[in-house]
Structure 1
Amino acid sequence: MTFKRMIRSAFLASAVFVATASMASAAEKDEMFMGNFSGEHGATSHPAGMIDATLDAKSHELTYSIQWSGLSGAVNAAHFHGPANFDQDAGVVAPIDGPYTSPLKGKVKLDAKQIEELEAGKIYVNLHTAEHPNGEARAQLVKN
């Protein structure tokens, strides 16, 4: 192998290394999500509020802050649901621990499939009340 070829090979190898390292660091970047609450399941109340969330790329933890108002009564359960589009209902992905007072902050751990669903906009938060046990307010999470 000529000296010129050795230099070219070394250059190409380092370029591949840098590109791979850049892609890995981009894949490990935290992602931010948000959603605004609106009424659902025939709620006549006027729910308002939002969720802000950050997905830690390394730990797969979703750290959230939820604020709400305008519900028919106290929140007695809250969950992340999915996978579902805006006009669909879905099962529980992860419970949200109380006490259910606004603002509510916490963390949940997601698996790889749940992260894909979150990134695709198919995860939502549902707030449940005594008057609306199937959910009174919903916020679909979308990437910021």
Structure 2
Amino acid sequence: MNPSFSRPMRHLFAGVAAFSLLGLAPAAAETYKLLANLDGASEVPPNAAKGTGSLSATYDTTTKKLTWTVSYSGLTGAAVAAHFHGPAGPGKDAPVEVPVSTGPSPLQGSATLTPAQEKDLLDGNVYFNIHTQANPKGEIRGQVSKAEPG
């Protein structure tokens, strides 16, 4: 084999292989674990409700799917509504972004988020609350945040 021919060919093949790998590489996808502790003190305005709850969720940036489980106890009555609200930080109110079906604890479900909802969620500007007949503006609430890497 001619040495002057094999060197350029090796470079050409290496370049084609590198380009192919870059072109086929999938976009960086992430799955986030999210948490919220729910209580009356976090409502706006705070209330003296004795109920508590916790939200555990995951969000997949590729599918845009938010999946959740919310456990609660000690409410003044049945949950009549539950929602993810945003954009808002602690102490602020915001409109409903994702409605949640109510029922006995635990509440489970999923939704596909819009780009704006994804930004609110990942920026920590979403809260979850549960409404009851006695507390129609919300009985327990918690700010949704990314779980610390473990």
Which of 61, 81, 85 does residue 85 from structure 2 map onto?
A: 81
2:112 maps to what in 1? 109
**Equivalent residue, structure 2, for 1:124:** 127
The 5 A counterparts of 1:18-29 are 24=27, 26-27=28-29, 29=30
1:79-125 superposed Cα distances (whole Å, 9 cap, x missing partner) = 11000001211001011013x21011111121011101100011111
* Counterpart position of 2:39: 38
Q: Give distance in 2, aligned partners of 1:4 and 1:89.
A: 67
TM-score, normalization: structure 2? 0.78
Matched residue SS, 1:113:
helix
- Tell me by how many angstroms 1:73 deviates: 1.4
Shift of 1:42: 3.6
* Alpha-carbon distance between aligned partners in 2 of 1:84 and 1:13, rounded to the nearest angstrom: 49
**Other structure's SS at 2:136 match:** coil
**How far did 1:126 drift?**
1.1
Q: If the length of structure 1 is used for normalisation, what is the TM-score?
A: 0.81
**How large is the Cα RMSD of the aligned pairs?**
2.3
Secondary structure of the corresponding residue to residue 120 of structure 2 = helix
% of aligned pairs identical? 35
Extract structure 1 runs of 4+ deviating beyond 2 A: 2-23, 56-59
Deviation at 1:70, TM superposition (A): 2.0
5+ residue gaps, structure 2, are none
Q: In structure 2, the residue corresponding to 1:45 is in which secondary structure?
A: coil
Q: How many residues align?
A: 140
Q: Is the 8 A contact 2:53 2:140 kept in 1?
A: no
Q: Which has the larger radius of gyration?
A: 2
CA shift, 1:43, in A, is 2.0
The runs of 5 or more residues in structure 1 that have no matched partner are none
